[in-house]
A and B are shown apart, each in its own frame.
Chain A
Amino acid sequence: MKAYFTRHAQVFMRTLGEFARSPAPTLMTVILIGLTLALPTGLYVGLLNLQRLSQGWQPHGSLSVYLKKGGADSAAVVAIRRIPGVATARYISPVQGLREFKTASGLGGMGLFGRHNPLPGVVIVAPTRPGPRSVALLATQLKTLPGVAHVQSNLVWVERLDAALALGRRLVTILATLLGLALVLILANTTRATVASRSAEISVVRLVGGTNAFIRRPFLYIGALTGGLGALCALLVLEIGLIALEGPVAALNRAYGAHYRLTGLGLEQALGLLVLGASLGWLGARIAVARALRQSEG
């Protein structure tokens, strides 16, 4: 067991040595892989941020309950509060509503409605359980109350966003799959070239009794190493991208009085990307070496 690890360590060191000796083509490959991986990863991070942002906007998919005009608003509010799925219910009286409308629309000074207030009383309801289905259920319950004229949920908007995000996720998955495949092919191709350039060495190793597994090993290490470094390069590209976006996000925050911060990949996800890059690199190398060895079998 110890010998096994020592041997791997030795081959690994030698691989590193060779890696350092011919950096130019390998560096190119690393960057190529880095850019290949950065694209889907960047989209994924963008999606994560969008999702987080939308959650900030719509924490629980709140409902606007419009009360019947001329009815007893306070009785309706009490009835609404009694429903089990209601977490909070904030009442906005017609007077308050008109004031808010005037400030928001900037039409305050125009006396547009004269002395007549056309607005109904509104109750903003936050459900105890978020999620499209429970919110929809709550909406139908609210509609049956006597003092209620109309219930409007922001759910439609939330659902649309959810659908858009799902589409985005699917796109990222497809893109990641395709580019993962591209990564495997890139590694397979560079490995094929390295194997070809080492054919003399391989035939000597064969001649002195080297097994295919022995011949394969350094190529697999180089493949995994290149893939892993490519992933590292992708993380770097991503980080640079996030830093570049920091300025514009800060400007947006100032404009909207918000305090949103872009988030990158978490430690676990970053490590996952490294492992994925290394695995795909290993796979590409493995495919190429297996093919080359089968062809030169002697």
Chain B
Amino acid sequence: MIELKHVFKRYPLGTEALSDVGFTLAKGEMAFLTGPSGAGKSTILKLICLLERPTRGQITVNGHELGRLPARRLPYFRREIGVVFQDNRLLNERTIFDNVALPLVVAGMTGDEVRKRVLAALDKVGLRGRERGFPLALSGGEQQRVGIARALVHRPPLLIADEPTGNLDAALSDDIIDLFREFNDHGVTVLIATHDLRQIERLKKRVIRLGAGHMLGAA
């Protein structure tokens, strides 16, 4: 499902963010990507959803070798991935409903099907009934859950999340990580970048460790 081979990434300003990173995440697997700040976690996730391109190396996601993906296929490739950002990236002038509906709308879905799916996704994250509100009227944890609903609403086979529990309290973090585990139980491949050791301990899933852009062993 995700395969990185000898991946290097150097940002324009000269920082070597990743050097010779490689790992494989099988279909239906769930793993944590961890390491200290600046280790390159976010960089790996950006490479996976093609927000950045590697300087060297090969990345394969959902069977697509990313280096060979033509630009016009990029939107369709992105529809196969659900992405959760630490900063949510919600549209504050749009209702919660519209935010969650976005992946469906861009894929051309209309009408009742959109409505049904959005409400189901909001139900999953415990926000049913809030769809008419706006993101800024929600707490940080609630916003994070809207972001998760948006990442899942189009039922992608792969879910990646960057620090989804970044600034949430313990109980809320548990809820959100449990939500990811639940999706994983239903066959979704999940990769979560986090330095929340408590969650890593609690779930006993696979851990991919990074340090200063290098692999520190994939347990």
Q: Measured between alpha carbons, how far is A297 from B79 in the docked complex, in Å?
A: 17
Say whether A3 contacts B78, CB under 8 Å: no
A204 at the interface (CB under 8 A from B): yes
Q: How far does the alpha carbon of A208 sit from the alpha carbon of B150 in the complex, in Å? A: 9
Q: Name B82's closest neighbour in chain A (CB-CB).
A: A208
User: In this complex, what residue of B is CB-closest to A201?
Assistant: B91
Chain B residues in 8 Å Cβ range of A212: 75
Q: Which positions 1-23 of chain A face chain B at CB distance < 8 Å?
A: 3, 6-7, 10
With a cutoff of 8 Å between Cβ atoms, the chain B residues found around residue A200 in the complex are: 89, 91
Contact with A along B187-201 (1 / 0, CB 8 A): 000000000000000
Chain A residues with Cβ under 8 A from B110's Cβ? 3, 6-7, 10
Specify the chain A residue showing the minimal Cβ separation from B53: A298
Pair B106/A211 contact, Cβ less than 8 Å: yes
A131 within 8 A of B: no
On chain B, the residues within 8 Å of A3 by CB distance are 108, 110
Chain A residues near B91 (CB, 8 Å)?
200-201, 204
Supposing A201-B91, A297-B71, A298-B51 touch, asked if A208 and B108 sit within 8 A by C-beta, the answer is: no
In the complex, which residues of chain A have a beta carbon less than 8 angstroms from the beta carbon of B108? 3, 7
CA distance A234 to B90 in the complex (A): 40
**B200 CB, min distance to chain A CBs, angstroms:** 27
Contact A214 B111 (CB under 8 A): no
Q: Which residues of A contact B111 (CB under 8 A)?
A: 6
Residue of B nearest to A18 (CB): B93
Q: Is A207 an interface residue (CB 8 A)?
A: yes
Min CB distance, A194 to chain B, in Å? 13
User: Residues of A contacting B71 with CB < 8 Å?
Assistant: 297
Which residue of A has the minimal Cβ distance to B89?
Answer: A204
The residue in chain B whose Cβ has the minimal distance to the Cβ of A297 is B71
Interface residues of B in 166-189 (CB under 8 A from A): none
CA A214 to CA B79, docked complex, whole Å: 14
C-alpha gap A214/B78 in the complex (Å): 14
Asked if A209 is at the interface (CB within 8 A of a chain B CB), the reply is: yes
Residue ID in chain B nearest A211 by CB atoms: B75
Asked if B79 and A208 make an inter-chain contact with CB atoms under 8 angstroms apart, the answer reads yes
The reply to whether A209 and B51 contact each other, CB–CB distance below 8 Å, is no
Chain A residues in 8 Å Cβ range of B138: none
A182-212 vs B, CB cutoff 8 Å, 1 = contact: the mask equals 0000000000000000001101111111111
CB-based contact B106/A208 at 8 Å:
yes
Chain A residue with the shortest CB-CB distance to B108? A7
Q: In the assembled complex, which residues on chain A have CB atoms less than 8 Å from the CB atom of B107?
A: 209
Interface membership of chain B positions 89-109, coded 1 if the CB is closer than 8 angstroms to chain A and 0 otherwise: 111000000000011001110
Of the candidates A7, A208, A211, A298, the one whose C-beta lies within 8 Å of that of B103 is A208
Q: Which residues of B contact A298 (CB under 8 A)?
A: 51
> Are B51 and A208 in contact, with the CB atoms below 8 A?
no
| Complex alpha-carbon distance, A3 and B110, angstroms | 7
Most A CB within 10 A of own CB, among B49, B71, B106 = B106
Q: List 22 A-B contacts (CB under 8 A).
A: A6-B111, A7-B110, A204-B91, A205-B106, A206-B75, A207-B49, A207-B51, A207-B78, A207-B89, A208-B78, A208-B79, A208-B83, A208-B102, A209-B76, A209-B77, A209-B78, A209-B79, A209-B107, A210-B102, A210-B106, A211-B106, A214-B106
Residue numbers of A with Cβ under 8 A of B are 3, 6-7, 10, 200-201, 203-212, 214, 297-298
- Nearest first, the 7 A-B pairs at minimum CB distance are A209-B79, A210-B106, A209-B78, A208-B103, A211-B75, A209-B75, A6-B110
